[in-house]
């Protein structure tokens, strides 16, 4: 992971250096600032669209897998926009623009290849899957039960007396 982070930093510095050598330091700073402003506006707009799409799909009774994935990609794109540098800005813009559909399709294919999701008990769940529900009857017992040996106080260890049937 540290190697990937180091490669990312080196790539960002190289990209900023290359742009600065072509258009100058002030132009580079202006381009980075413009990218952040446009990207944040776009992230807000696309995030709102994604949230409305999730709500509309859920209200219609359909599963909002694609809409939730779009929202996740918009969030990742917004995060990438706020990281300084040109490489992260370009990657963020690709996730915020309509090209996001390519990434969504690739992500959904990857998820479908991994098979159906499983619950914590190991039972599969999802569309068409049945799960087993176990109901356990129980009784709530008050903690302030007293001993029946005539002293009337709680047991010495502080635990309540529970009569078994």
Model confidence pLDDT, tens digit, residues 62-102: 888 888 888 999 999 999 998 889 999 999 999 998 888 88
pLDDT digits (tens, 9 = 90+) for 4-52: 999 999 999 999 999 999 999 999 999 999 988 998 899 999 999 999 9
Residue 129 has pLDDT above 60, yes or no: no
Q: CB under 8 Å to 31, separation ≥6 — which residues?
A: 19, 23, 86
Tokens of 162: 């529970």
pLDDT digits (tens, 9 = 90+) for 43-57: 999 999 999 999 999
Best-predicted range by mean pLDDT (26-30, 69-73, 149-153, 155-159): 26-30
Nearest-CA neighbor of 36 among 85, 75, 1? 85
Domain segments of the chain as ranges: 33-113
What is the distance, to the nearest Å, from the Cα of residue 69 to the centroid of all Cα atoms in its chain? Answer: 10
**32 with 89: CB under 8 angstroms?**
yes
Question: Is the whole-model pTM more than 0.75?
Answer: no
Nearest-CA neighbor of 133 among 151, 148, 121, 117? 121
**80 with 88: CB under 8 angstroms?**
yes
Which pLDDT does position 14 carry in this prediction?
95
Longest CA–CA span in the chain (Å) reads: 94
């Amino acid at each position: 992971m540290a190697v990937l982070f180091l490669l990312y930093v080196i790539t960002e510095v190289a990209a900023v250096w290359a742009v600065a050598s072509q258009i100058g330091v002030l132009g580079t700073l202006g381009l980075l600032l413009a990218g952040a402003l446009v990207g944040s506006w776009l992230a807000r707009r696309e995030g709102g669209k994604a949230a409305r799409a999730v709500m509309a799909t859920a209200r219609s009774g359909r599963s909002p897998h694609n809409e939730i994935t779009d929202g996740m990609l918009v969030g990742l794109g917004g995060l990438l926009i706020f990281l300084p540098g040109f490489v992260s800005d370009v990657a963020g813009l690709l996730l915020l623009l309509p090209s996001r559909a390519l990434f969504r399709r690739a992500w959904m294919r990857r998820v479908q290849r991994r098979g159906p999701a499983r619950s914590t008990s190991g039972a599969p769940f999802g569309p068409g899957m049945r799960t087993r529900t176990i109901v356990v009857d129980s009784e709530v017992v008050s903690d302030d039960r007293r001993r029946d040996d005539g002293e009337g106080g709680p047991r010495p260890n502080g635990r309540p007396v529970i009569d078994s049937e």
